[in-house]
Amino acid sequence: MMIAVTGGLGSGKSTIARILAALLPAVFISSDAVCRLELTPGHEGFDQFVCGDGKRFLEKDGSLNRLTLSRAVFADRGLREKLEGILHPIVRKRIAEADPATGFLVAEVPLVYESGWQGDFSTIVCVRSRRNLTICRVAQRDFRSHEEIQNIMSAQMSPLEKERLADFCIDNSGTFCSTFEQVAFLALQLKGILKKR
């Protein structure tokens, strides 16, 4: 069973995806982690990006200045689309090539709907969180201003729309125990679905 975990910025989707993968158990892939790796020297994504618009983001040691790049990507839609055009096919290929030996694969895919990948998965889980809580989490984690965070959020699909399209939803607005209980129950449901196949 191919499961995508998605959600808005700062919703907690990475944590939920890892917990779900551990409980099933499942092969786990983080599309963000793949993108980070691909933007390091010696990788296909890095080479393609630097050959195009990426040279201006290079540090003296030959690596990318990720903070500057991140800010530029969310301020410049054209740059964002070019970078996604390089990275998304690589990520999609990695997910498709992964072998879910246990019967489950959990992929954290923030832009599953925006990228049109929903057909690649048998189940999509959306993680939601209250907007004010999300903004506080991201501000503490990424040291971004509230204005920056809201700009990033406005560039993405509405969390409510993602929730409407998903097969399951986890509310990550409460305590860790509350979230864990929801994920544990979801894992049981998914195991039951797989057994019936």
| pLDDT tens column, 81-108 | 899 999 999 999 999 998 777 789 999 9
Residue 126 pLDDT > 80: yes
DSSP assignment of 67-105, as one string? Answer: HHHHHHHHH-HHHHHHHHHHHHHHHHHHHHH---TTS-E
pTM above 0.85, yes or no: yes
Give the model confidence (pLDDT) of 53-69 as tens digits: 788 999 989 999 988 89
pLDDT at 38: 95
Section 136-145 average pLDDT: 74
Last residue of a domain, one of 56, 83, 99: 99
Last residue of a domain, one of 49, 84, 99: 99
Last residue of a domain, one of 67, 99, 131: 99
Does one domain contain both 123 and 147?
yes
Residue 135 pLDDT > 80: no
Mean pLDDT of the chain: 90
Give the tokens for residue 15: 């944590």
The rounded percent of the chain whose pLDDT value lies above 90 is 63
Domain holding 184, by residue range, is 1-26+102-192
Does one domain contain both 15 and 106?
yes
Bond preceding residue 159 cis, omega within 30 of 0: no
Count of the separate structural domains present in the chain: 2
Does one domain contain both 48 and 79?
yes
Separation of alpha carbons 93 and 98, rounded Å = 9
CATH for 109: 3.40.50.300
Does one domain contain both 150 and 128?
yes
Does one domain contain both 20 and 113?
yes
